[in-house]
Chains A and B, each alone.
Chain A
Amino acid sequence: MPTPTSPPRLQLTAISKQYPGCLANDRIDLSIAPGEIRALLGENGAGKSTLMKIIYGVTQPSSGELRWHGEVMKMRDPAMARGLGIGMVFQHFSLFETLTVAENIALAMGTAAGTPKQLEPQIREVSQRYGMALEPSRLVHSLSIGERQRVEIVRCLMQDIKLLILDEPTSVLTPQEADELFVTLRRLAAEGCSILFISHKLGEVRALCQSATVLRGGRVSGHCVPAECSDLELARLMVGDAEGLESSYPKVSGGLPRLRVDDLSWHNPDPFGCSLSQIRLEVRSGEIVGIAGVAGNGQDELLALLSGETRLARGEQARVSLDGAPIAHLYPDARRTLGLAFVPAERLGHGAVPDLSLSDNALLTAFQQGLVSRGLVQRGKVRELADEIIRRFAVKTPNANAAARSLSGGNLQKFILGREILQNPKLLVAAHPTWGVDVGAAAAIHRALIALRDAGAAILVISEDLDELFQISDRIGALCSGKLSPLAATAHTEAVEVGRWMAGEFAPVAPSHSPAAAPAAAPL
C-alpha cells in the first residue's frame, strides 16, 4: 500500500491496450509500493502478459498513464525500463543457450559493466548472497530449468533493481524449488525491492504476496489481501462464476492392463534433447494415469514414442504394447487402427491444422471411422461427425466450416479432445490437456476425460499442472531426466512426494527381468 509520505514506486492509471479486434487491457489501475510483493492474478487471456509488457516497455499502451516514483513516464523500450531499475523474468526464458552464464549476464548489463570475465566474481557474490548457486562459466544449454531461472533472476539482481516482475515463475519449478525461490524473493523485498508476481496459483499467492490485483477479461475485477481471502473468493474474482469448478472425482483402480511400456530406453539424437531410460509403465482399462514433471524431462520424447511419431526397430516392437499386441514399431495410423487416440500438447500445428476447417480437421484423425469409402471422402458423414463433436462437447463456433485457428485455445482443445473421444479409443494419450485453457473449459475437459475413463478406456495424461493431475488421475508418477518414478495411487500420495520425484529423488528401477538388452541412453 502506498504510504502518504512517498509516492508509490509504480503507479498505473487507466491503462488500456487495444489490439486489432481485441481490447487486451481496459482502464487498468495498479500501484506498487517500495518493498511490496504484489500478485497479479488472472486466468490465461485476462490481460496479465499485456500489462507487464507495457510496464517493461515491450509494447506501448493505447491510453493511460504510467508513473514511476511519481513521475509520468513513457516506457519506450525494455532498455529504458532496465535503466530505471525494472527487471523481468519471463515465463519462457530469454537466455541464449550457446553462451555462458557470464556472457548472458554481460549482454544485459551494457558496456560499462565490463567483460564477461570481469563480471564473474560479482556474479558469484550476488548468487551466494541470495542463496542461488550458479557457475558463471557454464554454458546455458547445460543448465536445468531451475538453474536457468536463477540466471534470469541473478541477471536482474546484478543491476540496481527497484522492481522485479516475475511471470508465472513457479510453473517450471518443483514445489521445493518454488519454496527456495520464495525465500529469495522475501529477502529482496525486505531490502526494499518491489516485486510484481504474476500467477494463477492461489496457494502460492497467499504464501508470498501481501496484496493482489485480480484481472478478468482485461479489466481489474478487484484488489484484495490474499491472506484474508478464501480460494473461492479469489476464484470468483478471477473467473466470475466459480460454480462447479472445484469438483472432485472418485478414484478408481481400473481393470486389466491396456497399455504396457516395458523397459523402454531411447537415445535422443538431438544433443540438447532428453533421452529416455528404462521407462516402465502400465495403464489399465478404466483408469487415468497422470505423469508429472518439469518440461524438458522427456515428456515430448515419451509422447512421440507412444503416438508413433518416433518408432522403434522391429526387434524392439514389444517395448510398447496395447492389449498385448506389440506396437512400438508401428506408424501412427496403424496404432490408431488398434484403438489408440492421441491429443498432443500443441493444439495449432500438431493437434489441428490451423487453416483447415473444423470438419476437415475432424477427418484428419477419424478417417478410419467409415468417413472414407473407396478412396473418396464422404463429405456428409464428415460434416455430421464435426457437428456432433461441436454439439456434444459444447464447442463455441459459428459452424463446422470455421478455420481451426479462429477458435480460442479452450474451444479448440474441446474440439480436438472430442474428436478423439468419439472414436471410442481403447487408450487415450493426452498431453497438457488444459494448458492455456480457461477454468470453465478445463472443467469440461476434465469431466469428458472422467466419462471416457468410466466407459472403460485407459487414459494417460502428461501434464505440468500438479493440481490437475491430483484432481483427475487415479495413479500418479513423475518424469525426471528421462527416468520415470514408480507410480502410486493418487489418493495415498502427497504433492510434496511427487515434487521429490520431479526432482529425481526416487529409487532407480530394478534391473530388468527380461534378458533383452536395451540400448542404454547415453548421458549428455
Chain B
Amino acid sequence: MDLDLLSNILYAMVRTGTPLLLVALGELICEKSGVLNLGQEGMMLFGAVIGFIVALATGNLWLGVLLAMAAGMLLSMLFAAVALGFNANQVATGLALTIFGVGLSTFVGAAWVGKPLSGFEPIAIPLLSEIPLIGRMLFAQDVLIYLSFALFALVAWVLLKSRIGLIIQAVGESPDAASAMGLPVLRVRTLAVLFGGAMAGLAGGYLSLAYTPMWAENMTAGRGWIALALVVFASWRVFRVLLGAYLFGLASILHLVAQGIGLSIPSNLLAMLPYVATIVVLVLLSRDAIKTRLYAPVSLGQPWQPGH
C-alpha cells in the first residue's frame, strides 16, 4: 500500500467520521447531564433537510449551516419540554422524536430530492497540507471539518477542565444532591439537551451541505443510532468518542477499498464492518469496570423534578 493511498484513506476517514463525531459530542454532553435523548437520528435528518433547503433557496451555505443547527435545536426543545418539563419517559420521548423527525424531514424535503447543490469545498492550508500522510487528513478538509476539530477541543476542555464540566457531571450523577447544593438541575439539563440538538443539526447539515451536497430521504443511514452506541461504548469519555467516530470512518472506507481491490468477500458482510469494528474495539476498551463507573452518569434516563 503506497503512501498516497494511505493518505487518501486517512483523509476519507476523517470526512466519514465527522458527522458521527458531531452528533456523539452533543449526545455526550447531554448524557453526562443525565438525559438520554434517543431522538438524534430525527434531529439530524431535520437539520439536514432544513440546511439543504435554506442553502439552495438563498445560495448562502453558512445560513444553511446556521439554520440546520437551529432546526436540530428546535426539535430538542420539543424533547426538553416533554421529557424535562413534563417529566415524561425519556426513552419513549426520544423514540417518538426520531420517528417524528424522519417523517417531518421526508415531508418537508419531498420537493427537494435530487436537486444539485454545490456544497462546501475543501480548503487546503498552504504548507501544512503538504505534510506527508497526515497533511491532507488534517489540513485539506472543508471548513465544517475544521469547525468539528474546534468543537471537539471545546467539548473536551469543558468536560475535563472547566467548572461547567463539573456542574454537568454533578447533575448527571445525582440531581438530588446537585439541587440541594443549589445547582439549577433542570436548566443545566435543558441547556445540555439544546446543545445536543444543535450538534445533531450541525451533523445533519454537514451531510447535506458538505459530505454529499444533496438531499435524500433517510440520508443519515442510522448514524444517529451509531452515535448513541458510540457514547455508551466510549464509556462517556471524550477522547474515546473521537477514537470511535474515526474508527467508524476508517472501517467504512476500508470496506470501499476492499471492494476496489477485488477481495472476494461478499459486500454485505463488508458493509457490516464499520458497525462491528467500532463496537468491538470500544467494548474491549471499556472492560475496566472501575473506570467505567467513574465516567458513567448514574442518573442517566431517570426523570427528575425538584423536590417540594
Contact = CB atoms under 8 A, between A and B. Distances in A.
A28 B163 CA distance: 40
Contacts of B108: none
A94 B180 contact: yes
Contacts of B163: 106-107, 111, 115
Contact of B290 (A19, A53, A103, A271): A271
A227 B172 CA distance: 45
A505 interface: no
Interface in A502-524: 524
Indicate the size class of the contact surface on chain B: 20 to 34
Contact of A78 (B169, B181, B298, B308): B181
A99 B307 contact: no
B182 A96 contact: no
A95 B182 contact: no
Q: Secondary structure of the B side of the interface?
A: helix
B140 to A, nearest CB: 38
B180 A78 contact: yes
Interface in B143-176: 163, 166-167, 169-170, 173-174, 176
Contact of B182 (A19, A78, A90, A93): A78
Interface string A48-69: 0000010010110000000000
A368 interface: no
Given A94-B177, A271-B293, A272-B293, A99 B182 contact: no
Nearest to B308: A59
A103 B166 CA distance: 7
B289 A96 contact: no
A94 B170 CA distance: 10
A96 B171 CA distance: 9
A139 B290 CA distance: 12
B197 to A, nearest CB: 26
Contacts, number: 67
B295 interface: yes
Contacts of B183: 107
Nearest to A53: B307
A108 B163 CA distance: 11
B294 interface: yes
Interface in A42-100: 53, 56, 58-59, 77-80, 82, 88, 90, 93-99
B294 A98 contact: yes
Given A111-B163, A115-B163, A99 B180 contact: no
A106 B163 CA distance: 9
Max chain A Cβ within 10 angstroms of own Cβ: one of B163, B167, B183? B163
Contacts of A139: 294
Interface string B264-299: 000000000000000000000000011001110010
A95 B177 contact: yes
A82 B179 CA distance: 13
Given A78-B181, A90-B180, A94-B180, A107 B173 contact: no
Contact of A99 (B166, B179, B289, B308): B166
A271 B169 contact: no
A100 to B, nearest CB: 10
A79 B167 CA distance: 14
A96 B180 contact: no
A51 B298 CA distance: 29
A59 B167 CA distance: 22
Nearest to A20: B308
A271 B289 contact: yes
A285 B183 CA distance: 54
B290 A98 contact: no
A53 B308 CA distance: 10
A78 B173 CA distance: 19
A94 B181 contact: yes
A58 B294 contact: no
A88 B177 CA distance: 12
B289 A107 contact: no
B2 to A, nearest CB: 47
B170 A107 contact: yes
Contacts of B298: 97-98
A487 B167 CA distance: 46
B180 A59 contact: no
A141 B294 CA distance: 9
Contact of A98 (B167, B295, B307): B295
Nearest to A100: B166
B293 A77 contact: no
Interface string B104-126: 00000000000000000000000
A517 to B, nearest CB: 24
A108 B178 CA distance: 9
Contacts of A58: 179-180, 307
A512 to B, nearest CB: 29
A99 B169 contact: yes
A137 to B, nearest CB: 14
B294 to A, nearest CB: 5
A107 B167 contact: yes
A190 to B, nearest CB: 28
Contact of B169 (A82, A90, A96, A269): A96
Interface string A386-403: 000000000000000000
Nearest to B290: A271
A97 B173 contact: yes
Nearest to A104: B170
A96 B174 contact: yes
Nearest to A95: B177
A79 B289 contact: no
Given A59-B307, A94-B176, A98-B295, A77 B169 contact: no
Given A58-B307, A108-B181, A271-B293, 4 more contacts: A94-B174, A99-B166, A99-B173, A106-B166
Interface of A: 19, 53, 56, 58-59, 77-80, 82, 88, 90, 93-99, 103, 106-108, 111, 115-116, 139, 141, 269-272, 524
The 3 closest A-B pairs by CB, nearest first: A79-B182, A94-B177, A271-B290
Interface of B: 163, 166-167, 169-170, 173-174, 176-183, 289-290, 293-295, 298, 307-308
30 contacts: A19-B308, A53-B307, A58-B179, A58-B180, A58-B307, A59-B308, A77-B182, A79-B182, A80-B182, A82-B182, A94-B174, A94-B180, A95-B177, A96-B169, A96-B173, A96-B177, A97-B298, A98-B169, A98-B293, A98-B294, A98-B295, A98-B298, A99-B166, A99-B169, A99-B170, A99-B173, A103-B166, A108-B182, A271-B289, A272-B293
